[in-house]
Structure 1
Amino acid sequence: MTAYWFLLISALIVVIQNRIFKAMGLRRVTYSRQFDRRTCYEGDEVALVETIANEKRFPLPWLRVESLLSASLRFGHDHASNLDISSGQFQQNHRSFFSLMPWRRIRRTHHVTAARRGCYELSTVTLTAGDLFGLSADSNTLTFSERLIVYPQLVLPEDLALPPRSWQGDMSVKRWVVEDPFRRIGVRPYRSGDSLRQVNWNATARTGDLQVHQLDTTADYSVLIVLNVEDHAEVWKTINDVETIEQGIRIAAGTASHLIRNGMEAGFASNGMLVDDLQSVIYAPPSGGEAHLYGILEMMSMLVIERQMSFYDYLLLLSERLDRPTDLLLLTTHTDDRVIEAIDLLTVEGHRVVIKQLYPESEANAS
């Protein structure tokens, strides 16, 4: 009889604690996670900070936190001992176990290396809490909008030839030079052809001769960098040699950075797709300034290596879109007859075209 009552009371305790933990488990349990910055470059290390808090008087015997992240975000070997990582080719599953006393907050920082360019979202995290005996569990899925934009590595090959009028390193060549009406560096005597709008009347009154503003000169040089995501001429949509195209993106990023940070203009175009808008045409006209550069780099980060249209059709589209002579740098793995035909059309229309051939890593090393 004693054993019977003992079993009955034990079962009753198990049921009661189960109901209590099920009702109270995830109540007032908060979880947050965010990167310590919004952007970084390929290969940089960032910090992923997560905070778990039990903001009530009731303890949590166990709490499981599960999430999926891209396998390109590589966690350091010094991550927390209660973090179990199962990594596949594209995704990795994270599972952590906690025991939280009342009014307890846990904050931990993971050091993560962004191994590849891209746009990485923290997406969802599932919290699961249960009773002392693990008989049942209560789950809640949280959705996050946090993003990490990973810019491509900046690569500028030594053998890269920019379109005519460009310069590289310490070698000076001819550049188009124009007067900048917003940069005045002094006055000079009036010459035939000068606009009366540029007359400096104070200097004219002081010298007795007609004087005009002396304007500084700036280099009017810009390049549109065009990336072909096709890895061979007969490709349909899926790209097999992704690494060669990735290297092309790094060269495009390095070239754009080189031009803009040396006071010139750069643009970016591609026949690929953007992760947020698979239907939009990738085209950023040449411009200057740091803001424009980071806009281009973000566009390159969002680039999906899938063909939206053939490179031939894309070059024809560019010929319709470009309303003035433009210097084009084409980064491509191939130049078949149709591509050459489109390049000839661009040349006839007054555009200057330079082709940078992209090779697989094995061929590049052999050469």
Structure 2
Amino acid sequence: MVWYWILPILLLIAPLVWPGIWFRRVQSSIESTASITKRECAVGDFVQLEICIQQHRGLPIPYLHLTLHAPEGTAFNKEGDLRYLEWTSYLLPGQQISFVCQLYAMRRGPKSLRDICSIEIHEGFGLRRFRLSPHFPEQLGVYPDAASSQTLHSIWQALTGTRMTQRWILPDESLFKDVRPYVAGDPPKYFAWKTIARTGDWWVKQFETTTSEEWVVILNAQMQNPYWMEADTPTFDRLCALLLATVSQWQRGERGNSLFFASNALLSNYPQKHWYGSVTFGRLRSLLAVLESYPTCSLIDVLQEARRFSTSPRTPWLIVGAFFSAEQEQWMEAEKRRGRPIEIIKLPRWKEEVENDTPITAER
């Protein structure tokens, strides 16, 4: 008869005692890790996330619930509408399970992965719960999207053109150098008619490039005056794409030249860094993948720093931005009068372009 009383009592006590025993044994024996295949990718590309959960010893885990939340500007599918993932399972002692998914990049910029994953486990009754937070690398950098060919073509024409004018930043092999004898296949538009008329032989013009072997590109994140009043992420993303496409086009024909980079855009962990020195195309692309749209200083501060670090007072500058105050324009005009070649690409603000169809301008 005693056993008939003991069994109900044990059943009543078990839900009270079991969670504490289970919690102490499981808390010290479970381990979670998180990994990512790469820390940088292009817009539309994906990286693979993997979360591993292992129970080394002790008691089983009847309930395990994993939740993933995609950072802003990313998604778990190509369409970009799947932002949450949930998965429920269990774990036996000595067992390991892995959860693998693909994270698609939908927009340029740094994407924080610090708190995107949460794992909740309990003993089966839900009386004692605790959470695990696997640690991914701090952020994923997404490269700027390639600028449209039509937009880039209009900028390229404005910068290089067909006129015989000195262009110091981008290739413009239209500065007359000399004449040489005609060779079959030379375009008729290069005939040196005055020399032909004077000598009676066929001659064609030769040209030389006016580009510098060293130049500086400056990305302006300032959208208002003073600089701290506004940050415009869509416009800044388009500035990054435009700058990267322009440098890519330039390097196709001018390999080996030195490229320096400066910007007033925020770089996490280095908020006061504006001058990045000599950079390769790959390094520039990586920087544009992690720069944020928040300006940390005025454009004039960046220009002064670029002037201080430039190796020559005639090192040309290419400045890309969407806003230039009257004071900044006066400062750049004064720098031009000192002999520095400066090219400016002004991209209209996103809302301005939509409302007014404002064209992109490039000026020297």
Give the Cα separation in 2 of the matches to 1:122 and 1:346: 43
> Does residue 37 in structure 1 map to residue 38 in structure 2?
yes
Shift in CA distance, 140/245, structure 1 to aligned 2, threshold 3 Å: closer
Structure 2: segments with no counterpart, 5+ residues: 161-166, 178-210, 359-364
Q: 1:342 and 1:116, CA in 2 relative to 1: closer, same or farther beyond 3 A? A: same
2:244 aligned with 1:253, yes or no?
yes
Whichever residue aligns with residue 315 of structure 1, its letter is L
Partner residue of 1:309 out of 287, 297, 303 = 297
Task: Give the distance between the partners of 1:75 and 1:277, measured in 2 at CA.
Answer: 30
Structure 1 residues 126 and 241, CA gap change in structure 2 (3 angstroms): closer
Preserved contact between residue 223 and residue 286 of structure 1 (Cα < 8 Å): no
Q: How does 1:164-313 map to 2 (within 5 A)?
A: 164-165=167-168, 172-174=173-175, 221-232=213-224, 234-262=225-253, 263=255, 264-280=257-273, 282-286=274-278, 292-313=280-301
Matches of 2:268 and 2:126, distance apart in 1:
41
Q: Alpha carbons of 1:337 and 1:57: their partners in 2 closer, same or farther (altered >3 Å)?
A: closer
2:309 aligned partner: 321
- Length, aligned pairs only: 307
User: Are residues 1:154 and 2:142 paired?
Assistant: no
State the AA in 1 paired with 2:105: A
Alignment of 1:346-361 (within 5 A): 346-361=335-350
Answer whether contact 1:55 1:104 (CA < 8 A) is retained. yes
Question: Aligned pair in 2 of structure 1 residues 257, 60: CA closer, same or farther (>3 Å)?
Answer: same
Q: How far apart in 2 are the matches of 1:222 and 1:51?
A: 49
Matched-pair contact (CA < 8 Å) for 1:276–1:302: no
Give how far 1:273 is off. Answer: 2.0
Conserved 8 A contact 1:25-1:138: no
Q: Say yes or no: does 1:97 pair with 2:85.
A: no
Question: What whole-Å deviation, never above 9, does each CA across 1:304-340 have from its counterpart, x for those lacking one?
Answer: 2222222233323333332311221211223332122
Aligned: 1:134 with 2:129: no
**Structure 1 position 338 matched with structure 2 position 335:** no
Q: Per-residue deviation at 1:75?
A: 1.1
Task: Compute the displacement of 1:246 (Å).
Answer: 1.6
Structure 1 unaligned spans of 5+: 80-84, 88-92, 177-218
Which residue identity does 2:296 align to in structure 1?
Answer: Q
Q: Secondary structure at the match of 1:237?
A: helix
Letter in 1 for 2:97: I
Partner AA of 2:283 in structure 1:
G
CA distance in 1, matches of 2:4, 2:248: 80
Cα distance in 1 between the residues matched to 2:122 and 2:333? 70
Q: 1:78 offset after TM fit, Å?
A: 11
Q: Distance in 1 between matches of 2:95 and 2:297?
A: 55
Once the two structures are aligned, what percentage of the paired residues are identical? Answer: 18
Question: What CA distance in whole angstroms lies between the structure 2 residues aligned with 1:96 and 1:343?
Answer: 57
Cα distance, 1:13–1:320 mapped onto 2, change above 3 Å: closer
**2:221–2:265 CA contact under 8 A, matched in 1:** yes
In the TM superposition, what whole-angstrom CA distance separates every residue of 1:253-282 from its partner, at most 9, and x where no partner exists? 2222333344144332112221121122x2
Q: Between Structure 1 and Structure 2, which shows a larger proportion of strand residues?
A: 1
CA distance in 1, matches of 2:243, 2:315: 17
* TM-score in terms of structure 2 length: 0.72
The answer as to 2:96 corresponding to 1:108 is: no
Q: State the alpha-carbon separation in 1 of the partners of residues 348 and 242 from structure 2.
A: 12
User: For residues 295 and 268 of structure 1, what CA distance do their matches in structure 2 show?
Assistant: 10
Instruction: Tell me how far apart the structure 2 counterparts of residues 66 and 175 of structure 1 sit (CA, whole Å).
Output: 66
Aligned to 1:135, what secondary structure does the other structure show? coil
TM-score (norm 1): 0.72
Taking structure 1 as reference, are residues 334 and 143 closer, same or farther at Cα in structure 2, changes over 3 Å only? closer
Distance 1:108 1:126 in 2: 12
Assess, with a 3 A threshold, how the Cα gap between structure 1 residues 240 and 148 changes in structure 2: closer, same or farther.
closer
Per-residue deviation, 1:61? 0.3
How far apart are the structure 1 equivalents of 2:176 and 2:124?
Answer: 76
Q: Distance in 2 between matches of 1:114 and 1:360?
A: 23
Residue 187 of structure 2 aligns with which residue? none
What is the RMSD computed on CA atoms of the aligned residues? 3.3
Find the aligned partners of 2:250 and 2:24 in 1 and give their Cα distance. 62
> How far off its partner does 1:3 sit?
8.2
Instruction: Name the amino acid aligned to 2:259.
Output: A
Q: Within 1, Cα distance between the matches of 2:332 and 2:41?
A: 35
Change (3 A) 1:133 1:231: same
